[in-house]
Structure 1
């Protein structure tokens, strides 16, 4: 399928890149990316993926837009307060790029529905802010053999890593299990600088674009950590393989999806 004159103009800066070109742009237009969480991380990720021309973007979130979200969740505006986040996000994306089909999931993601939701997507972005949700996304992607990008932010710090089947460790390889309840403060309790969501969420979008176009090096086998106060990046090399991992190891003990504990819809 040839690109239209409008698409050639819209994506001209991509097409100029030798790593992308027309061929890469067609891959983006044919790709499907699921974003779980239309909050601080999911907002910039969704906007940059939409601007890049990712043809289908799924957005899963069961919350409504609140005034306190607007300090970092840039896909929403003041006029969106009270709307569902998936509706608000879809409206923003549709206004930004009509090439993109948005599939909204106004639902609580849990062990009963996540496998069916991720099934048709090429890449998954974790934009959640609670550990049970992050472990569930990891386990579902490992079992469904779906690549995904994990990220987390708090205060002035952020981190991200990417899982690709057979290419590196999963999230559970590194962290094992969720910490005890209330052991780690939430963004609501500890705060987060809004720009940190933009930095890390945009990098999640970049990981998705690189995966789709098969360019560059992904954060498989590495955790990238950013300290915004010191403006320091640290890339931590992770083990290539964790044989004892309970979900992707030699003898997995986790063979069915389950909810670690009752989750909320609260997203960064």
Structure 2
């Protein structure tokens, strides 16, 4: 399809406006993390590295980072296991209600976070009688992180078909042997990309975390929210926000590169 020069110029202008609306606020946060001002002012009156030093020496922020990493890693592991099993069951087997089950697996990522948070809070406290803790946060994050793994793996399974697995079965290999030697090696990159996306999704999640974390659990997004409007904490929060953005970008970038490399290879 060919576009006129006017249409191309209009699309370019719209693209620039949309990207600017998304990324200019992030640039402001980055610049303010070096500002000498203790409040969110623009333009900055001066530049300093003081807040970066304080941020990396802030015990509360470091504990929050550790908690977020622990939650994200645990949720990612759970998501890899359950997401892979769900995708194998739904793609490789025919059974009644398969489409309904597929919808239920994907639904948590589409529901508003506040609805998911309220529902899980009620389930943990009222139905199961559990105290909110880091365990409830991990379970809550896993409910929507599974979707990223599920989507990656089921897409790969649809692309691969069953010819190699059928050949393995014809040669006498059992289900586990076929999975270990045939299926899993072909799924590794999809699992890796899905795990990276799940980690990034969990690491910066705040709405569901607010409803499922106990008073003693403080993830990095919660720490940012609590300290954003405290006196003299805004610059430190800006530094932590920049770090959070970088941590979120890296796994998404790697997953995108993996997907791009596989398309070229095919």
Q: Normalising to structure 2: TM-score of the pair?
A: 0.25
User: Rg: which structure is higher?
Assistant: 2
Query: Whose helix fraction is larger, Structure 1's or Structure 2's?
Result: 2
Query: Whose strand fraction is larger, Structure 1's or Structure 2's?
Result: 1
Q: Normalising to structure 1: TM-score of the pair?
A: 0.25
Structure with greater contact order relative to length (CA < 8 Å, sep ≥ 6):
2
